[in-house]
Homo-oligomer: A and B are copies of this chain.
Amino acid sequence: MTRITQLQQAMGDVDAVVLRLAENILLATGYWLQIGGLGMVVVPREGSPTLVIPDYEQQDASTHWGGAIETFPIIRFDAGPAGAAIERILRGVASDLGVQGGRRIGFEGSFETIGLPTFTGEANAVAAPTQALIRATFETETLVDVTGMLETVRLVKTDEEIARIRLTNEIAGLGLEAFKEHAVAGRTEAEVAAAVDAAIVSGGHGHKGARVVRSYATVWSGPETESAWQYFRHRARRIEPDDVVMVELGTVVDGFWADHTRTVVAGRATERQREALAAVTAGIDAAFAACRGGAVARDVDAASRAACQELGFTQFPHHTGHGLGFRYHEARPQLVPGSDHELLDGMIVAVEPGIYDAEVGGIRWEDDAVVTPTGAVRLVESGYALD
């Protein structure tokens, strides 16, 4: 069943959905938009969808999407205003599909977290202007927030999507290896982060057909890693001998995300630090083993914490993990205490137990895996230890 068929079956009494976010256009068409907002896909409950994009995206898009494409000129002022062209196209699509005039039209009303398009530095969201555009062109006052439906449809990845997320993980692996190489005494945190990103971007483009690769590494080091359970930002701080060094890494390849953490010691790890990493590793293994289709997220979380505990450590009370793939972090499943989210075969999950205290500093490790009937299977391995 194609993604389009799934969306159509999930629409209920909604007559058509208009998707504008890069992550949702990717879901529907397989194509990762260049500039978010400058593109839309209209998916009717009955009939064929149309992708509406800038003319300069047509060639790229058609290699991923075999359906109808309508284009408009933009980023140039010699072809009339883009807004008017987009309106004209949407009116035509709505009319051709027979969903114009008082129908129920779905939109991305509650996406407050947004995956980036290929153009970085700015994201595009769906707010009042998009709603006004839909109202005007579909001639309706009945806009329906379909955020929950989209989050549900994307929970389980297709085989092709899993292959693409696996590729992202492989390319992320270039950065994880670079981290181990560069996280040494004398380097600044910022230099290590830059080296990780450079390894991924330089080595990733063209790797097994990867077209667009972006990397978002953040590195922290030293005694302050004790509080690395919170979000951190790299500094000009120079790594000292025997410092703990941690990288938090988001990688995206053609729209599909990976999420990793690694911790190393820039010198010689203490016995207690080694034990902490062993506990974290056991926590990951236990969580992945528990991630079988049909399992409940709170049990996965509990399994991870129990495994840490068994080795004499308390896993920190941040989440054990989360779903991902179309975004760095998807809303579901949440692998946290009390979560009733169900694990399903074909989900992608990230698991990231951490131990943080004054004695060991911060030790966290994070891998991505695909959920199967016999547990979740890691998408990339890295063989190195703490030091």
Contacts and interface: CB of A to CB of B under 8 A. Distances in A.
Interface size class of A (residues with CB under 8 A): 35 or more
A114 interface: yes
B145 A216 contact: no
Interface in A146-184: 147
Contact of A110 (B76, B111, B128, B206): B128
A109 interface: yes
Given A121-B252, A125-B127, A195-B198, 17 more contacts: A34-B231, A56-B227, A56-B230, A76-B229, A76-B317, A76-B318, A109-B127, A112-B126, A112-B127, A113-B122, A114-B122, A114-B124, A116-B123, A119-B218, A128-B145, A191-B198, A194-B197
Given A120-B250, A122-B115, A127-B109, A204 B231 contact: no
A80 B198 CA distance: 40
Contacts of A56: 227, 230-231
B77 A336 contact: yes
30 contacts: A56-B231, A75-B229, A75-B318, A77-B318, A77-B337, A110-B127, A112-B124, A113-B123, A114-B125, A116-B123, A119-B231, A119-B233, A120-B120, A121-B250, A121-B257, A122-B328, A128-B147, A188-B205, A190-B202, A190-B204, A190-B205, A190-B206, A191-B198, A191-B201, A194-B202, A198-B198, A205-B234, A206-B235, A206-B236, A211-B233
A14 interface: no
Interface string A91-110: 00000000000000000111
Contacts of A66: none
Interface of A: 34-35, 37, 54, 56, 75-78, 108-116, 118-130, 145, 147, 188-191, 193-195, 197-198, 201-202, 204-206, 211-213, 216, 218, 227, 229-231, 233-236, 250, 252, 257, 316-319, 327-329, 336-338
Contacts of A328: 121-122
Please give the count of copies of this chain that the complex contains. Answer: 2
Contacts of A145: 128
Nearest to A248: B119
A33 to B, nearest CB: 10
A206 B235 CA distance: 7
Given A234-B205, A317-B76, A129 B110 contact: yes
Contacts of A252: 121
A337 B76 CA distance: 10
A89 B128 CA distance: 27
B317 A78 contact: yes
Contacts of A118: 233
Contacts of A113: 37, 122-125
A157 B237 CA distance: 31
Contacts of A257: 121
Contacts of A112: 37, 124-127, 129-130
A129 B108 CA distance: 12
Contacts of A128: 109-110, 145, 147
B122 A327 contact: yes
A230 to B, nearest CB: 4
Nearest to A230: B56
Contacts of A202: 188, 190-191, 194
A129 B111 CA distance: 9
